[in-house]
Structure formats: C-alpha cells, structure tokens
C-alpha cells in the first residue's frame, strides 16, 4: 500500500492551514491549538519545513512562521519530498544501483513510469488546490 506517514499528513495540514491566510505569521502555539495537534509535533514540523525552504521563520515578539511562497507555488510533491524524501513507488524507481535484480528486471521501466505519473500528479497539486477540492479534482481529472 502506498501511504504517507502521519508526520507528513500533519505537515500538509499545517501548511494548508497557513495557506488560508498566506501573508499571516503563525506561532507554533496558535497552529497547534487551531489544528488540534501536540505543540511538540507542530514545532518539529515547522522547523523541518523552515529548514527546507517551505516556511520563513520570523524572530521577535511578533515572530513565528509564514509561507515562503504563495500557496499556488508550493506543490504537494515538494512537501512530500521535504517530509518523506523523494517520491518513489519502488526503490529502483528513484535511483539506480540499489537492487541486485536491476540489470535484468523486466518491470523496472514500468515502475519508473508509474512513479513518474504519481510525481506529476503531486506536482500539479498545490497547497491552494488542497483547500479548494473542486479545483483539485479537476486538475487530476478525477473526483476527490
């Protein structure tokens, strides 16, 4: 089964909440309270997202975090890449030299193709589209 981790799920929830008011600076405490997650989890994710360029950290009395780019420019593929690592359905669909069967595998190219389709779909979905279900479903040509 293909599944993202709970932490990645929580990270997308945090980012989607921030995308509702993208120019606002959010404190970890206010986000934790709004989305009903433990403060320690929210802090951990905010630091990770900030270190990887999705958020900007602002110090001071009115400090906190804000989106580094408009929500339309932050793809779900980038979020997953930051929180999970590169999108890869199988180990060999991401990079060569991992599997001993690689040299004579009859289905490696097909898995790479599947991986590409999934990545492209995630790349087309932005934080903004996560908040707007009809648009997101139209982008993929399916209902969400």
Q: What is the pLDDT of residues 29-85, one digit of tens each?
A: 999 999 999 999 999 999 999 999 999 999 888 889 999 999 999 999 999 999 999
**Is the per-residue pLDDT at 90 higher than 50?**
yes
Residues 61 and 80 in one domain: no
Evaluate if pTM is beyond 0.85.
Answer: no
Residues 55 and 90 in one domain: no
Q: Which helix (H) or strand (E) holds 42?
A: helix 39-51
Residues 56 and 76 in one domain: no
Residue where a domain terminates, one of 67, 89, 109? 67
Supply the range of the domain harboring residue 24. Answer: 6-67
Q: End-to-end CA distance of the chain, in Å? A: 18
Q: How many CA atoms does the CB half-sphere of 53 hold within 13 Å? A: 6
Pairwise CA distance, residues 123 & 119, whole Å = 6
Strand ranges in 7-141 using DSSP code E only, listed in sequence order: 55-58, 64-67
Residues 51 and 91 in one domain: no
Q: How many domains does the chain have?
A: 2
Percent of the chain with pLDDT over 90: 62
**Is the per-residue pLDDT at 135 higher than 60?**
no
Confidence of residue 143 (pLDDT cuts 50, 70, 90): very low
């Amino acid at each position: 089964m293909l599944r993202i981790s709970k932490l990645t799920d929580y990270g997308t929830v945090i980012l989607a909440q921030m995308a509702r008011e993208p120019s606002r600076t959010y404190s970890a405490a206010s986000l934790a309270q709004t989305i009903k997650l433990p403060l320690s989890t929210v802090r951990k994710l905010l630091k990770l997202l900030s270190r990887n360029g999705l958020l900007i950290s602002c110090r001071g009395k009115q400090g906190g975090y804000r989106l580094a780019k408009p929500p339309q420019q932050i793809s779900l593929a980038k979020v997953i890449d930051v929180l999970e690592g590169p999108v890869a359905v199988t180990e060999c669909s991401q990079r060569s030299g991992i599997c001993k069967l690689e040299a004579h595998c009859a289905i490696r190219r097909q898995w790479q193709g599947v991986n590409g389709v999934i990545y492209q779909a995630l790349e087309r979905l932005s934080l903004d589209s996560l908040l707007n279900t009809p648009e997101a479903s139209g982008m993929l040509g399916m209902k969400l």
